[in-house]
Structure 1
Amino acid sequence: MSVRVHRVYDPPEPDDGVRVLVDRLWPRGLAKDAAHVDEWPKGLTPSTELRRWYHAGEGSYEEFAERYEAELAAPEAAELLGHVRELARERDVTLLTASKSPEESHAAVLLRLLDEA
């Protein structure tokens, strides 16, 4: 099965499979029924502190990715990552994010970790 990243504002596609919102906050201006989100594991998202640090421009994407991976080692996050990994073994999974640059976001880190499994 495949895992991919899409912006949550893009319309759903027939081959999206399970649509998993990987942002801590609900996307601005998007109605919940219009998002077609199947799961929203908030515990899998970067901490508020890490998110604010990265968006303030205080560090590089590489450092953000390292810090986020360290957060994903915590028990709750590791369990949720395992759940998404299991979903991806059974079906296609689309990670949804409101990030304007998904390729340099936490969603890209998740995609890499899920692809490595």
Structure 2
Amino acid sequence: MLVDRSLPLARLSGITRPDVWLAAVAPSAALWRWYGVQEVRYPAFARRYEHELREPVRAAGLRRLHGLACGGPLILQTAVTPIHLSHARVLARHLRVGTSGGLREEGGEAACRLGEVCPDCGRHAETSGATTCAYCHASMVG
């Protein structure tokens, strides 16, 4: 599932091509320009992006993303690096806690495998129930 505004073909060449491209959940161009993937701005970026996710088009995209996550394992793809500073991290948090930007939750267990994904680097845990990421050593609890 690609969650970027544009299709980064060159950056995706070494990884699996996405089955679905959901540009509707990407941050606005204005927010992205302001943020510029500057680590000191990430907390403010995440708050502003959360606000954008309540807009009708993005909220509909978020509901679709939530529905897809309820249907089975989901991989959020983005060309943004480093991944822990990307909007995909905000989306993963929505899925992990089972919310859709304050929208009504609809059936199913939301993305049950997201608890096995490191919130910092986005890698899948090598063992079920891991509390620390084997790659970046971040906590996977919570």
Whether TM exceeds 0.5 here: the answer is yes
CA RMSD of aligned residues (A): 2.1
The structure having more radius of gyration, on CA atoms, is 2
The total of aligned residue pairs comes to 97
Cα deviation per residue 1:23-75 (whole Å; 9 max; x = unaligned)?
A: 1122152578x742111111110000111111074961000000000000011
**Identity in percent:** 38
2:71 aligned partner, one-letter code: E
User: Cα–Cα, structure 1 residues 56 and 90, in superposed 2: closer, same or farther, change >3 Å?
Assistant: closer
Q: Which among 58, 65, 71 is matched to residue 90 of structure 1?
A: 71
Q: In structure 1, what is the Cα distance between the partners aligned to 2:93 and 2:38?
A: 22
1:100 aligns with 2:81: yes
Structure 1 alignment gaps of length 5 or more? 1-19
Question: Per-residue CA shift, 1:12-33, capped at 9, x if unaligned?
Answer: xxxxxxxx1011122152578x
Q: Who is 1:70 aligned against?
A: 51
In 1, the alpha carbon distance for the partners of 2:90 and 2:39 equals: 18
- State how 1:16-31 maps to structure 2 within 5 Å: 20-30=1-11
Structure 1 runs of 4+ off > 6 angstroms?
none
Q: What do the CA deviations read for 1:69-97 (whole angstroms, capped 9, x no partner)? A: 00000111111111111111111000001
Instruction: Name the structure with the higher helix share.
Output: 1
> TM-score, normalised on structure 2?
0.62
CA–CA separation in structure 2 for the residues paired with 1:109 and 1:26: 19
TM-score (structure 1 length as normaliser): 0.74
Asked whether 1:110 is paired with 2:62, we answer no
Q: Which has the higher contact order (CA 8 A, sep 6+)?
A: 1
